[in-house]
Amino acid sequence: MILELSGEFPVKLLCQVMEIQRSSFYNWKKRLSHPATHTRNLINNILLFREYHLQFPSHGYRWLNAKIRLDTGLILSDPYAHKCCKIADIKSKSKHYRYKKPGEPGRTYPNLLMSEIQIDGPLQCIVSDMTAFYAKGIYYELTLYMDIWNNEIVSHALSSKRGDRMTYISGLQDLLSLKSDDMEYKMVLHSDQGSVYASKDFNKLLPTYIERSMSRAGTPTDNGAMEAINGWIKAELFVDLHVTQDGDTRQEIADYIQFFNEQRPAYTLNYMTPRQYKDVHLNNTRA
Tell me the per-residue pLDDT of 154-208, one tens digit each, with 9 for 90 and over: 999 999 999 899 999 999 999 998 887 776 678 999 999 888 999 988 999 898 8
| Residue 130 confidence (pLDDT) | 93
The chain-wide mean pLDDT, for the chain, equals 84
| Residue 117 confidence (pLDDT) | 80
- Of the candidates 123, 136, 158, 154, the residue with the CA atom closest to the CA atom of residue 250: 158
Is residue 143 pLDDT above 80, yes or no? yes
Bridge-partner residues for 212, per DSSP? 189
| Residue 128 confidence (pLDDT) | 94
pLDDT higher for 84 or 39? 84
| Residue 287 confidence (pLDDT) | 65
| Angstrom distance (rounded) from CA 222 to CA 172 | 21
Q: How far is CA 190 from CA 122, 244, 278, in A?
A: 15, 31, 21
Question: Is beta strand 138-147 parallel, antiparallel or unpaired with respect to 210-214?
Answer: unpaired
Indicate the range of 60-64, 131-135, 138-142, 229-233 predicted with least confidence.
Answer: 229-233
Helices 78-87 and 61-72: angle between axes, nearest 10 degrees: 110
> Confidence class of residue 32 from pLDDT cuts 50, 70 and 90?
low
